[in-house]
Amino acid sequence: MDASSPRDLHYYEPKNGHGLKHDPFNAIIAPRPIGWISSRDTKGNVNLAPYSFFNGFCYTPPIIGFSSTSWKDSVANIQETGEFVWNLATKDLARQMNATAAHVAHEVNEFSIAGLTAVPGKLVNVPRVAESPVSFECKLTQVVQLQGADGRKANAWLTLGEVVAVHIDKALIRDGVYQTALARPIVRAGRKGDYFEIRQDAMFEMTRPD
């Protein structure tokens, strides 16, 4: 189909509903990296939770961020302490990652629920997931409450942090280059439980025009 051929389009305005069985918004913006975030409150309680709205936003300084669709433990903890860790979710850790999405009491440690090992951070007082092949230790830069075009505040908070320390399994580095697919990272694909696995046979390369 070329630009001159009309498409049969499903059109909707979000404020009036989407008219489908499932909201297509997060399935269209896919795949999305998983924000598997570990944090700690000022009393020492540790939290580990996955967020499907996550990405990187800046090279220098390196900044990552995740959005929580309500004021959850992760955001509260990070607001209190100013620190968090992002852990790479992989195919081998998919079930454990999913287990940490359970709604439990604030004092419950999701590391224990999922059978994961908490390893102390080097520069932050927050543990990383030992089983994860890549982790970023982060210092909080901003917590921003999101708002609509009309200025109304949304029940969602974007948490941004500067990456101050990086842990990478050396098995994922070949000739000085990090090999994305070797870790078999998983990414969100919409609905309530759809995921993709990044594999080498699904990757392709293009030379940038600049």
Going by C-alpha positions, the residue among 100, 98, 92 that lies closest to residue 39 is 100
Q: pTM of the predicted model, to two decimals?
A: 0.91
Compute the average pLDDT of residues 187-210. Answer: 85
Spatial neighbors of 81 by CB under 8 A, at least 6 apart, are 39, 40, 41, 42, 125, 126
Q: Assess whether pLDDT exceeds 80 at residue 191.
A: no
Q: What is the pLDDT of residue 152?
A: 97
When the pLDDT of each residue in the chain is averaged and rounded to a whole number, the result is 92
The confidence band for 72, taking pLDDT boundaries of 50, 70 and 90, is very high
Backbone φ/ψ region at 101: left (φ over 0), alpha (ψ -120 to 50), beta: alpha
Q: Assess whether pLDDT exceeds 60 at residue 94.
A: yes
Spatial neighbors of 187 by CB under 8 A, at least 6 apart, are 30, 31, 32, 33, 34, 195, 196, 198
Going by C-alpha positions, the residue among 89, 97, 91 that lies closest to residue 114 is 97
Topology adopted by domain 23-197: Pnp Oxidase; Chain A (2.30.110)
Q: Assess whether pLDDT exceeds 90 at residue 90.
A: yes
Q: For the segment 139-169, what is each residue's pLDDT rounded down to a tens digit? A: 999 999 999 999 999 999 999 999 999 999 9
The confidence band for 3, taking pLDDT boundaries of 50, 70 and 90, is low
The more confidently predicted of residues 101 and 191 is: 101
At 70, list the tokens.
């309500």
DSSP SS3 for 79 = helix
Q: What is the pLDDT of residue 196?
A: 86
Q: Assess whether pLDDT exceeds 80 at residue 103.
A: yes
Question: Which residue ranges make up each domain of the chain?
Answer: 23-197
As a whole number of angstroms, the distance between CA 133 and CA 197 comes to 15
Backbone angles phi, psi at 181, to 5 degrees: -70, -25
The confidence band for 205, taking pLDDT boundaries of 50, 70 and 90, is confident
H or E element that contains 36:
strand 35-40
